[in-house]
Chains A and B, each alone.
Chain A
């Protein structure tokens, strides 16, 4: 059974600082997705990572995938308040059309 673990679950950081959110998963997969959720809202797709070594960047966020380590990272550079949200990673279970989601990382960026 595929399990997806994110850490940390809560992250409070100052504006201008850098930090990384980690997403580990338990079985082989080469399809991983990152989403953002603002309070009271739905999920918005951020990144789609489809192969080992894939790297995607959008603004101050950069996501990468290491399928051999079964690890994805979401790196935040020079955080700003607008990045405050909950970030979820999800892994494709393969063959079933299902995604398995991590518990989410609640990020708070303080001035």
Chain B
């Protein structure tokens, strides 16, 4: 089955710790995205990548980092510089340059201990 997987489903972070959220897709999409969603709020773009080895900051990139070494993978690291990381994190992918919708993974819920 084609789709997007995210792991883990729940993640607990201790103060001062960096944590990495995984996102993998087998849709052969070039473009991938990370969004943050706070309770009762909309989606805010953290980072996006249009092609392997390239990525751009979104609206709230501070305290986060990404890499795009493989087409199918776009991991997000929440660094200790992100002081309020508790949120629902959604990864998405899309066919680049086309008119397709974005397809979303199931999400990772990050909680601070």
Contact = CB atoms under 8 A, between A and B. Distances in A.
Interface stretch (A42-50, A60-68, A69-77): A42-50
B94 interface: yes
A48 B42 contact: no
A43 B41 contact: no
B48 A98 contact: yes
A97 B58 CA distance: 12
Q: Chain B at the A interface: mostly helix, strand, loop or mixed?
A: loop
B105 A88 contact: no
Nearest to A95: B97
Interface residues of B, number: 24
A25 interface: no
28 contacts: A33-B101, A33-B102, A41-B107, A43-B43, A43-B92, A43-B104, A44-B104, A45-B101, A48-B99, A48-B100, A48-B101, A88-B42, A88-B43, A90-B102, A97-B48, A97-B50, A97-B94, A97-B96, A98-B48, A98-B58, A99-B102, A101-B42, A102-B42, A103-B41, A103-B42, A104-B41, A104-B42, A106-B40
Q: Chain A at the B interface: mostly helix, strand, loop or mixed?
A: strand
A74 to B, nearest CB: 15
Interface of A: 31, 33, 35, 41-45, 48, 50, 88, 90, 97-99, 101-104, 106
A42 B104 contact: yes
Contacts of B100: 48
Contact of A101 (B40, B43, B101, B105): B43
Interface string B54-80: 000010000000000000000000000
Contact of B31 (A41, A90, A97): A97
